[in-house]
Structure 1
């Protein structure tokens, strides 16, 4: 499997003047031709809220270009890339095609899928669409995060090429369903998800808390 990068994006935290408030955010990224990718992320890319975002398990954010037409049709407006603050906007693949633990060649770097993205309210504020965050949660069309296994230069022309797939049970979409909507309805599946070695540590912690809570009830 190989997918094309539509746009490569980076951005540092800066003041955002949204209609209802001012805030510091790095969601307003800009397109670039190439950048060095380190374990912590791309050169020229940063995180404002380091308590809830970023870290080695979330070094690279992908959002599928294929979803843009859906949102534009739903809201009757044109979205400017990268509307979701993603580092790589990629065509031809969605959360159903990507699996936790998938390893990809990304330019000279090698990256591994760790979790689906859990977006925050800046998604709605940045795009001026109040209900966008809720719809992203409802649909599980969140995009995903990667950790960096090998550092290297990434170019817009690099593409994303699958190297290996360690499991076929939990796509990013399936994992999103369990994490965002699973609650106590599928405890066996959630308990199985936590056994996927590549899963982000934060998701493992959240799942472990849920399992502990269920066993006490």
Structure 2
């Protein structure tokens, strides 16, 4: 059975050499309340808006908003990287709000619907590894290495607000879109063929559609 192993929230923490804080250092809590945070935008100090109450997002330009409301990552993938890196990786280490168990998160299709606790979530966007993630991990070439693995978890939009706790079952209703979240990750990392394939889906989110269209226009 697919379940929630841990739910995790981040407080503001300093970034080496940067004036603005980050919320990537997430720690387990006893529950999270999730709701649609509205469109991606910047608040005080440039901070973003999370779909998880009390969860800090340092950059509203790149993170947060409806399509990046909640981030889920599989414990099985954390265990893979723990073996690869030879170090313990606790729940929340990759900045995820939900650490899953028994669910192949990376086989999710765009627009799959998850019922978790009394919340309803929708698979909405891939996680794109960034410099904050690299700083947190402290591993040489981390962004490239993580992206090449191709199993980066998924962001989820909040279709119905609710509360999620460790131990909650995760029920997945497949969308049938055929658009794997791993394919969207490849597109965002520069794969032109995957961009073209993604653009054939009428319900593709506007941020992805705009980015892929502009990139293809520049690169022919």
> Does 2:214 align with 1:209?
yes
> Does 2:14 align with 1:11?
no
> Does 2:133 align with 1:134?
no
Consecutive unaligned residues of structure 2, counting only runs of 5 or more, are 38-50
Are the aligned partners of 1:57 and 1:201 in contact in 2 as well (CA < 8 Å)? Answer: no
Quote the residue 2:205 is aligned against. 200
> Does 2:195 align with 1:190?
yes
Whole-angstrom CA distance in 2 between matches of 1:212 and 1:55: 26
Are the aligned partners of 1:79 and 1:127 in contact in 2 as well (CA < 8 Å)? Answer: no
User: Is the partner of 1:25 in helix, strand or coil?
Assistant: coil
1:96: how far off? 4.0
1:192: how far off? 3.4
> Does 2:109 align with 1:110?
no
Change (3 A) 1:35 1:69: closer
In the alignment of these two chains, the number of paired residues is 207
Are the aligned partners of 2:106 and 2:151 in contact in 1 as well (CA < 8 Å)? Answer: no
TM-score, normalization: structure 2? 0.84
Consecutive unaligned residues of structure 1, counting only runs of 5 or more, are none
1:111: how far off? 0.8
More strand by share: 1
RMSD: 2.1
Whole-angstrom CA distance in 2 between matches of 1:198 and 1:113: 12
Cα deviation code 1:81-114 (max 9, x no counterpart): 2111000011223354211110111211111111
Are the aligned partners of 1:10 and 1:44 in contact in 2 as well (CA < 8 Å)? Answer: yes
Are the aligned partners of 1:5 and 1:160 in contact in 2 as well (CA < 8 Å)? Answer: yes
Quote the residue 2:180 is aligned against. 171
TM-score, normalization: structure 1? 0.85
1:49: how far off? 0.8
Runs (4 or more) in structure 1 with deviation over 6 Å come to none
